[in-house]
Amino acid sequence: MRYAVLVTGPAGAGKSTFCASIMTHLHASRRTGHLVNLDPAAAPDSFEYSPSIDIKDLISVQDVMNELGYGPNGGLVYCFEYLLQNMDWLEEEIGEYEDDYLIIDCPGQIELYTHHPFLPTLVKNLQRLGMRTSAVYLLESQFMEDKYKFFSGVLSAMSAMVNLEVPWINVMSKMDLVLPNPEDPAAGGRNGLRTRRNIARE
């Protein structure tokens, strides 16, 4: 059985960091995991584990910008449409792996999750190849310090979940950056967590 985990979320939410942690966990538990990079604009030094499959071997934003004169956003959309037209490339690359976990580092453009056909088409192709596919959506936990940001983040996560229709886990990233709530007398513990009362008998 083959498994795919789409690691999704807005730009800078911590997707690549999360992918590296999952890869370390898979290696530690003696399972075979492969990193797949689907971000055509990713810098080569942004990966702790080098990707086994990399969209940049097919097409990169830099090539599109240089050769077709597109800007960075138009270049990205062009790359995804190019991949959609060349799904056989991805199938060939994936074909080599059996009984493995593919950890798919997705790009951070939020419109890809809400109204572009790229990810839903990718999911259908993975399922057609017999891969059990699920998704993780990362949201920066600092968003919960501001109700408007939090509401907007939660709605974008729900919109992406409804769009992709696969088993889904929302993950709040960067918990170490959450500030304690100054109005909460019990706050003051690390990461905004409530301090634990010492209930041990003297």
Ligand X SMILES: Nc1nc2c(ncn2[C@@H]2O[C@H](COP(=O)(O)OP(=O)(O)OP(=O)(O)O)[C@@H](O)[C@H]2O)c(=O)[nH]1
- Give the neighbor-by-neighbor strand order of the sheet with 2-8: 53-54, 33-37, 101-105, 2-8, 131-140, 168-173
Binding span for ligand X by CB under 6 A among 15-23, 26-34, 94-102, 144-152:
15-23
Does position 177 interact with ligand X (CB under 6 A)? The reply is yes
Does position 93 interact with ligand X (CB under 6 A)? The reply is no
Does position 13 interact with ligand X (CB under 6 A)? The reply is yes
Percentages of the chain per state (helix, strand, coil), in multiples of 5 = 45, 15, 35
Does position 11 interact with ligand X (CB under 6 A)? The reply is yes
Q: What are phi and psi of 150, to 5 degrees?
A: -60, -45
Give a three-class secondary structure readout of 10-64. CCCCCHHHHHHHHHHHHHHCCCCEEEEECCCCCCHHHCCCCCCEEHHHCCCHHHH
Does position 117 interact with ligand X (CB under 6 A)? The reply is no
Does position 17 interact with ligand X (CB under 6 A)? The reply is yes
- Tokens 């959309």 — which residue? 77
Which residues within the stretch 32-91 sit at the binding site for ligand X (CB under 6 A)? 39, 46
Binder among 176, 182, 199, 201 for ligand X (CB under 6 A): 176
Total site size for ligand X, rule CB under 6 A: 15
- Tokens 């493995």 — which residue? 100
Binder among 33, 40, 108, 192 for ligand X (CB under 6 A): 108
Q: In the complex with ligand X, which residue's Cβ is closer, 42 or 126?
A: 42
Which positions touch ligand X (CB under 6 A)?
9, 11-17, 39, 46, 108, 173-174, 176-177
